[in-house]
Structure 1
Amino acid sequence: MKKYIAGLLLLLTIAACKKDNYDAPNVTFNGRITYQGEPIGVASQQVYFELWQTGFGKLTPINVNINQDGNFSALLFSGTYKMDLPVGQGPYLPASGHYGDTSTITITGSNTMNIEVLPYFMIRDDNYSLADSVITATFRLDSIVKDPALAKAISEVSLYESTLDLLDAQNNKVATTLSGANITGLQQITLTLKVPPDQYVSQSYIFARIGVRLAGIDDMLYAAVVKINL
């Protein structure tokens, strides 16, 4: 009886080892979220897209987080995946303009691929200057989604400043905001912000970034982070 139990335990141990002895993911999938080749800025690690792969037991999505400059990177198994942009993720629509339109990608070896989307707006010609401890940012907004059934209104625009280059609505030292109701035109928007005196003591440069919040959309659209010498 003892020999039987010992043999049974050995078989169960071998089976468990075989079950857990899968190779680790070893394929890198890199890319950037873009519109006509231009990167889409978001809050770092707050926006994601989904990859679905069958053949590994329960079907669950792999969430691929997006960095603030629009870049992403994921370590995966080789194979074929369905890629989906979930509803409410990002300040954009899928490139088709409709949610639920998945695309199929095959990943073998390291892959680099940009994912085209349809942003509601694009930040253009952003420019930053510093004088008398005041940052002045000017920019314009291009409305990309024209369909009234899909378009979104501008809730507010903001200028963020920090001593760190990780910069968004949650990660900043100082911010200033202009309500969408007070924007008189999209072709010339100006924001100003006073740099705190203590930042002149700690280092010789700061970082700034413009953000746009849209009505009914959680994730903001951002310009690229810029470095400003003090």
Structure 2
Amino acid sequence: MKKIYYLLSLLLVVCFTSCELDNYEAPNINLVGKVVYNGRSIYVRNNQVTFRLYEPGWELSSSTYMNVQVAQDGTFSAGVYGGKTYKLIRQNNLGPWVNPTVNDTITVNNYHGEVIEMPVTPYYLLDDATADCNGRLVTASCKITEVTPGQSIEKVGLYVGRNIIVDDIRNLGAGGYSEVTGVQAGQTVSLQVDLSGFSINSTNASLPQTGFIYARMGLKISGIDAMIFTEPFKLAFSE
């Protein structure tokens, strides 16, 4: 009987504990923000760059933070609890910008849905970007503006894809991008991608039946994986 009583007591404890865990409220609001330099949105590869989101009061460890991914337009979001305080922390060597200091931690007090700006200082900017498509020849250009000296440019590329999410990884593949090395700060880079060899169908390495493709330029710094990009351009091509 004692064994049966013990087992019943243990089951009741487990049951009440499970109920308490189930009664925790789910996050009820999205913390939203964007990466900026002097108020200007910074474009990156979709979901490549991450921040760490902490709720103060918990011990900072590998299991008490959330990785927040940055979309290609520099925006980010994460489910949180409204009215609480959070910290957004950048990490070294993640992003085409100067590494953070302790002063770069963003504290969000009593959050209620406002857009949070995450300021960064890039090494380079891609200014005056343009793109067009004549038939199936995509041409794009941008000016390379140095913001922070000390980092060399590995390459600048033009990337063309079927969808608005386009970068050095997500593109039409061989023949769907063009890259150049030896670029210097202050230079205006013009690149072309000839799409005449691509068929129109539903595969990833083909042109879409919509008649539209997307293109944008990107710059890679030597020794830094994450690239900085222009905004994507929606372009019509001829069949």
Q: TM-score range by the shorter chain?
A: 0.7 to 0.9
Residues 9, 125 of structure 1: alpha-carbon distance in 2 compared, 3 angstrom cutoff: same
1:125-204 counterparts in 2 under 5 A?
A: 125-146=128-149, 151-173=150-172, 174-179=176-181, 181=182, 183=183, 186-195=186-195, 196-199=197-200, 202-204=209-211
**Which residue of the partner structure matches residue 11 of structure 2?**
9
Unaligned 5+ runs, structure 2: 201-206
8 Å contact kept, 1:86–1:99: no
The equivalences for 1:56-95 within 5 A come to: 59=61, 60-78=64-82, 79-93=84-98
In percent, how many aligned pairs have the same letter? Answer: 27
Shift of 1:185: 5.9
Structure 1-normalised TM-score?
A: 0.87
**1:57–1:4 distance in 2 versus 1, CA, 3 Å:** farther
The question of whether the paired residues in 1 share the 8 Å contact of 2:162 and 2:208 is answered with no
Runs of 4+ aligned residues of structure 1 deviating over 3 Å after TM superposition are 54-59, 98-101
SS at match of 1:25: coil
Deviations 1:12-56 (A, max 9, x none): 321232244311111211111111111111111111111111445
Give structure 1 stretches of 5+ with no counterpart.
Answer: none
Q: Which has the higher strand share?
A: 1
Aligned position for 2:203: none
Is the Cα–Cα contact under 8 Å of residues 106 and 118 in structure 2 kept in the other structure? no
**Are 1:117 and 2:120 counterparts?**
yes
- Aligned residue in 1 for 2:33: 31
Q: RMSD of the TM alignment (CA)?
A: 2.1
Residue matched to 1:224? 231
Q: Per-residue displacement from partner, 1:132-157 (whole Å, max 9, x unpaired)?
A: 522111110111113xxxx3111000
Secondary structure in 2 matching 1:122? strand
Distance (Å, rounded) in 2 between the aligned partners of 1:201 and 1:71:
27
Q: CA deviation at 1:207?
A: 0.9
